[in-house]
């Protein structure tokens, strides 16, 4: 394993490859799991248990006509899907997968993730705005308000962990959990982060920006081919990112009994949350838009501030 140093070329390449392949595979995993939970089959024709469905989807998406509507604003229309891929993949740079695998140990890792999450909002906003389509515009208006709001609680809910660990460095946060995972002292922070994470990656039940029953497909109504594919894969990348972040921040990252190697522990924990997010999609209905906003600002914000205050009191009194 000596070639797998943090920041080495092999490490970077394997993270990039693993994450993108995983995100593409998740399209199939999600459909199969949803089928299982909804008592139907899901895609099971192509290959073993339908596992080659992803390949078939990819071939389809790559060979579709890549069309830019004549009424769209070309620059922002082309830029928007690239932004989501770039910012989510950049966020993986600061995530420590194991003691050996990782891209960079940044002292501002948590802040970097938050910065990338806030830049991700441009993707949906520009996509909807440049499409010059009323459904797309409605979708991106919703996305903008939702993402800007939930970013606030996401940031504040993380601060409890940062206070306990005394560091913004994600690797430092994992190492400081050797005595106990932060899920126990920070269970409120964890719940808020979980909810805010779903809202940030606008997945069901918070997929109001792309609610197909109300506004077609929302911000990506006008997209087709690979540009749509980037939005689609970007969403699954966001899912992997949120699951990895939860693992790192609250569940001790790669830490675990030594009969399994660290990367397996990380994958198990992150995989559990990915499956949990998919189950949530199968189980929960979508709230109304104003319910989402007032729930965030009137309930989650005070709760996250209270959590931070209590954490501060406890840390100061045990100094």
Partner 1 sequence: MILLFYLAAAVAVIATIGVIVQSNIVHGLLYLILSLLAVAVIFYVLGAPLAAMLEAIVYAGAIMVLFLFVIMMLNLGQNTRDQERQWLRAGGWLLPALLAAVLLGQLLYVMNGVEGLSVSEQVGVMAVGSRLFGPYVLAVELASILLLAGLVSAYHLARQVRSGDE
Kindly list the residues in this chain that would bind partner 1 in the complex (CB under 8 A). Answer: 73, 75-76, 79, 107-108, 111-112, 114-115, 117-119, 121-122, 125-126, 128-130, 137, 140-141, 144-145, 147-148, 151, 155, 168
Q: How far is the CB of 263 from partner 1 (least distance, A)?
A: 28
The whole-angstrom separation of Cα 87 and Cα 92 is: 9
Nearer CB in complex with partner 1: 87/194: 87
Q: How far is the CB of 310 from partner 1 (least distance, A)?
A: 19
Helices 134-165 + 225-250 axis angle, to 10: 20
Nearer CB in complex with partner 1: 168/265: 168
Nearer CB in complex with partner 1: 116/246: 116
Contacts of 314 (CB under 8 A, 6+ apart): 185
Q: How far is the CB of 158 from partner 1 (least distance, A)?
A: 12
Q: How far is the CB of 122 from partner 1 (least distance, A)?
A: 7
Residue with tokens 């569940």: 251
Nearer CB in complex with partner 1: 180/312: 312
Cβ neighbours, 10 Å, residue 100: 18
* Distance (Å) of CA 241 to CA 63, 233, 246, 273, 318: 28, 12, 9, 11, 33
Nearer CB in complex with partner 1: 115/279: 115
Short-list 77, 65, 207, 88, CA closest to 139 = 207
């Amino acid at each position: 394993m000596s070639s797998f140093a943090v920041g080495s070329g092999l490490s970077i390449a394997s993270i990039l490859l693993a994450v993108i392949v995983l995100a593409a595979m998740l399209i199939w995993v999600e459909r199969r799991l949803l089928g299982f939970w909804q008592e139907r089959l899901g895609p099971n024709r192509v290959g073993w248990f339908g596992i080659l469905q992803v390949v078939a989807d990819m071939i389809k998406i790559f060979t579709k006509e890549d069309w830019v509507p004549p009424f769209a604003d070309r620059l922002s229309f082309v830029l928007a899907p690239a932004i989501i891929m770039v910012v989510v993949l950049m966020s993986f740079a600061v995530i420590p997968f194991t003691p050996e695998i990782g891209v960079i140990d940044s002292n501002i890792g948590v802040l970097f993730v938050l910065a990338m999450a806030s830049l991700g909002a441009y993707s949906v906003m520009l996509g909807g705005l440049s499409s010059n389509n009323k459904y797309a515009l409605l979708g991106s208006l919703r996305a903008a308000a939702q993402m800007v709001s939930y970013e606030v609680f996401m940031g504040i809910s993380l601060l409890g962990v940062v206070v306990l660990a005394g560091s913004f460095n994600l690797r430092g946060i994992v190492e400081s959990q050797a005595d106990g995972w932060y899920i126990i002292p920070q269970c409120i922070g964890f719940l808020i982060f979980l909810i805010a994470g779903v809202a940030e990656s606008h997945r069901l039940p918070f997929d109001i920006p792309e609610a197909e029953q109300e506004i077609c497909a929302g911000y990506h109504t006008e997209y087709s081919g690979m540009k749509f594919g980037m939005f689609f894969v970007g969403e699954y990348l966001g899912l992997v990112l949120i699951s990895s972040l939860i693992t790192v921040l609250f569940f001790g990252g790669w830490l675990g009994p030594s009969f399994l190697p660290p990367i397996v522990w990380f994958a198990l924990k992150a995989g559990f949350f990915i499956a949990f997010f998919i189950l949530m999609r199968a189980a929960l209905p979508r709230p109304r838009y104003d319910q989402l906003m007032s729930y965030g600002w009137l309930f989650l914000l005070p709760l996250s501030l209270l959590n931070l205050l209590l954490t501060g009191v406890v840390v100061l009194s045990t100094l």
